[in-house]
Amino acid sequence: MRDAFPMETSMQPQTLDSRVERLEKRVTALEQLPARMDALEVQVSQLRDEMRVEFSATRQEMRAGDDETCRTLRDEIRAGDEETRRTLRDEIRAGDEETRRTLRDEIRAGDERILTQARVLHEEVLSRLAVIQEAGPRRRPRRG
Q: For the chain, how many structural domains are there in total?
A: 1
Q: How far apart are CA 122 and CA 109, in angstroms?
A: 20
Q: Is residue 58 part of a domain?
A: yes
- Dihedral through CA 119, CA 121, CA 123, CA 127, nearest 10? 180
The pLDDT value given to residue 12? 75
CB contact set of 122 (below 8 Å; sequence gap of 6+): none
Q: Is residue 141 part of a domain?
A: no
Q: Is residue 3 part of a domain?
A: no
Instruction: Express each pLDDT in 51-100 by its tens digit.
Output: 999 999 999 999 999 999 999 999 999 999 999 999 999 999 999 999 99
Q: Is residue 2 part of a domain?
A: no
Burial classification of residue 42, based on how many CB atoms lie within 10 Å of its CB (0-12 exposed, 13-18 middle, 19 or more buried)? exposed
- Tell me which residue range forms the domain holding 68: 15-133
Radius of gyration of the chain (CA): 57
Q: Is residue 19 part of a domain?
A: yes
- Summarize the confidence of residues 136-141 as an average pLDDT: 67
Q: How far apart are CA 129 and CA 116, in angstroms?
A: 20
The pLDDT value given to residue 140? 65
Q: Is residue 83 part of a domain?
A: yes
Q: Is residue 10 part of a domain?
A: no
CB 5 within 8 A of CB 29: yes
Q: Is residue 8 part of a domain?
A: no
Alpha helices in the chain (DSSP H): 16-135
Q: How far is CA 54 from CA 47, 69, 122, in A?
A: 10, 22, 99
Q: Is residue 1 predicted with pLDDT exceeding 70?
A: no
